[in-house]
Amino acid sequence: MFSRFKITKEDYDTLELPDRVHLNLNQNARRIALRLDSKSKSIRLTVPKGTAPSKVQSFVNKNILWINNTLNSLPSDIILKENSTFPYMGKHITLKVITDKSAKTRKITLEETDLTIRTSSDIYSERLKRWIINDFKEKVKSISEEKSLNIKKEIKSVRVSDTKTRWGSCSHDGRLCFSWRLAFAPYEAIDYVVAHEVAHLRHLDHSKEFWTLCEELSIDYAAGKRWMKENGSELMRYVFAQ
Ligand SMILES: [Zn+2]
């Protein structure tokens, strides 16, 4: 049977989806499905292309309890704000805010375990985020370079990003990329992710030789690898105060 009207993407605009439920139209999907993505703290609603919107809506309505329970059971955010203490590059640091009305620019310094922001206004989150990204980049770059020297391989570049799907990557031509959220992981976990990507400079696979090298390049390979596997998604909990 032919349907008289072809269903287009716009037809799904009328759907009433709860917050944090995202529609994913998929040509290859066989049926409507809901899946939690714990990294982005949202639910993906996969719908085979051409499914009637009314059918999708009734599926969502039928599963609304599951959706709400699942979203409510997610771990809460850890907000980086004045006087909060949080892990940073393997240390526990405390965020101090000094309000100085005469300050022209916001200045951030890290001394021992105090991260201090001097600011003339209460709005500093964006600046703090930028500082963390830049500082992490410098640090992860020097760890990467030190490890790559050990295996006499050259790194083309080190980038940081907010990728939600992987903590690190290595291209075939030696470009490394890390999620800046690693900054909140224990040091051996950061070290393991760096060792992993640097080991890819020699082996672009996950062969036995690769894992042996990865272990050699890590401070504490087993602990770091285990922490990332068991707690990696914890890193998504850190958010900046508004
Ligand atoms: Zn890998």
**Higher-confidence residue: 35 or 40?**
35
For the cut 80, the answer to whether the pLDDT of residue 147 exceeds it is: yes
Residue 1: per-residue pLDDT: 47
Q: Which of 6-15, 58-67, 186-195, 201-210 has the lowest mean pLDDT?
A: 6-15
User: What are φ and ψ of residue 169, in 5° steps?
Assistant: -150, 160
For the cut 80, the answer to whether the pLDDT of residue 30 exceeds it is: yes
Distance from residue 163's CA to the centre of ligand 1 (Å): 15
Distance from residue 172's CA to the centre of ligand 1 (Å): 12
How are strands ordered across the β-sheet holding 114-119?
85-88, 91-99, 114-119, 107-111
Residue 100: per-residue pLDDT: 85
Distance from residue 185's CA to the centre of ligand 1 (Å): 18
Which residues sit opposite 51 in a β-bridge? Answer: none
Distance from residue 167's CA to the centre of ligand 1 (Å): 10
When pLDDT is cut at 50, 70 and 90, the band that residue 240 belongs to is confident
Residue 145: per-residue pLDDT: 97
Per cent of the chain over pLDDT 90 is 72
Residue 3: per-residue pLDDT: 53
Residue 105: per-residue pLDDT: 78
Residue 92: per-residue pLDDT: 96
Mean pLDDT score, 6-17: 88
Beta pairing class for 114-119 and 107-111: antiparallel
Residue 242: per-residue pLDDT: 66
**What pTM did the predictor assign?**
0.76
Residue 157: per-residue pLDDT: 97
Residue 5: per-residue pLDDT: 67
Distance from residue 205's CA to the centre of ligand 1 (Å): 7
Residue-range domains of the chain with CATH = 9-72 (no CATH), 79-240 (3.30.2010.10)
In a 13 Å sphere around the CA of 106, the CA atoms on its Cβ side amount to: 20
Mean pLDDT score, 14-26: 92
Mean pLDDT score, 209-217: 97
* Measured CA distances, 77 to 60, 144, 165 (Å): 26, 30, 19
When pLDDT is cut at 50, 70 and 90, the band that residue 108 belongs to is very high
Mean pLDDT score, 71-86: 90
Distance from residue 196's CA to the centre of ligand 1 (Å): 6
Mean pLDDT score, 183-194: 97
- Chain mean pLDDT for the chain: 92
Q: Which of 4-13, 107-116, 206-215 has the lowest mean pLDDT?
A: 4-13
Distance from residue 197's CA to the centre of ligand 1 (Å): 6
Mean pLDDT score, 81-97: 94
Per cent of the chain over pLDDT 70 is 97
Distance from residue 199's CA to the centre of ligand 1 (Å): 8
Which residue type sits at 119?
A: T
